[in-house]
Amino acid sequence: MANQGRVTSALKRTIAWVSSNATGCRYCQAHAIRAAERYGAEQEQLDNIWEYKTHPAFSDAERAALDFSLAASMVPNMVDENIKEGLYKYWDEGEIVEMLGVISLFGYLNRWNDSMGTSIEEGAVESGEQYLGKHGWTQGKHI
C-alpha cells in the first residue's frame, strides 16, 4: 500500500474502496474511504466517489484504474479486453500489478471482515457516514 510511484497512496485507497463496494463489505468500505482521506485524496473525489465514472474530479487514468478494481472484484471476474485496453492506455504493467495487489489484498480483507462481522471503529464510522451515507451506507452487521 506504500506509494512507490505513480499509483499514489490515495489512489490505492480509492481502488480499495471500489473493490470493497463491489463485494459489499461495509467495514472495508468505511476503512478504505477513511484511509483515502488520510492519504491525500482530493476532497472533491471523496465527496463524489460514487460518481467516479463521470465526475470531472477523476482523471481518465483514475477511471481506468477504478473500473479495473470494480471488474476484478466481481465474481465471476469481469476484466475483459476493454478494461485491459483502458488500463494499458494510462498505466504500465508494473503499475497494473501494483493495483491488482491492492484489489487482491482487499479481496481477502473483504471476505474476512464481512464473514466475521468485524466491528467498525468510531473514526471509520464517521468517514463512512460522511462520504458514503448519502447513498445508503450503514454499519450493517459491523456494529
For the stretch 85-140, pLDDT in tens is 999 999 999 999 999 999 999 999 999 999 999 999 999 999 999 999 988 999 99
Say how many domains are in the chain: 1
CA 4 from centre of chain:
18
State the pLDDT at residue 122: 94
CB 15 within 8 A of CB 110: no
Residue 130 lies in a domain: yes
Range of the domain at 42: 9-135
Mutual angle of helices 81-90 and 60-73, in 10-degree steps: 140
Residue 2 lies in a domain: no
CATH number of residue 96's parent domain: 1.20.1290.10
pTM of the entire predicted model: 0.94
State the pLDDT at residue 1: 83
CB 65 within 8 A of CB 87: yes
State the pLDDT at residue 54: 97
Residue 39 lies in a domain: yes
Angle (CA) 48 9 131, round 5°: 25
State the pLDDT at residue 4: 77
Residue 140 lies in a domain: no
Sign of the alpha-carbon dihedral angle for 44, 50, 53, 59: positive
Q: Mean pLDDT over residues 9-33, rounded?
A: 96
Residue 34 lies in a domain: yes
Residue 45 lies in a domain: yes
Torsion angles phi and psi, residue 55, rounded to 5: -75, 135
* pLDDT of 11 strictly over 80: yes
Residue 86 lies in a domain: yes
Residue 106 lies in a domain: yes
CB 68 within 8 A of CB 96: yes
Residues 55-87 pLDDT 10s: 999 999 999 999 999 999 999 999 999 999 999
